[in-house]
Amino acid sequence: MKAIIGKKVGMSQIFDADGKVIPVTVIEAGPCVVVQKKTVEKDGYAAVQLGFEDVLERKLTKPEMGHLSKAGVGPKKHLKEFDLEGDLNVGDIVKADTFAAGDHVDVTGTSKGHGYQGVIKRHGAHRLKETHGSGPVARQIGSLGAGSHMSKIIKGTIGAGHMGVEQVTIMNLDVVKVDPELNMIVVRGAVPGPKGGLVTIRSTKKTIIEKKGEAAGISANPQKASARVNPQKASARNK
pTM of the model: 0.75
The residues spanned by each domain of the chain are 114-163
Q: What are the φ/ψ torsions at residue 170 (nearest 5 degrees)?
A: -100, 120
pLDDT at 193 over 70: yes
| 100-to-114, 174, 177 alpha-carbon distances in Å | 35, 10, 7
Question: 3-state DSSP call for residue 192?
Answer: coil
Which pLDDT band holds residue 213 (cuts at 50, 70, 90)? low
For residue 175, pLDDT over 70 is answered with yes
Burial of 3 (0-12, 13-18, 19+ CB in 10 A): buried
Q: Which tens digit of pLDDT belongs to each residue from 68-93?
A: 888 888 888 899 998 876 688 888 88
Distance separating alpha carbons of residues 220 and 210, to the nearest angstrom: 17
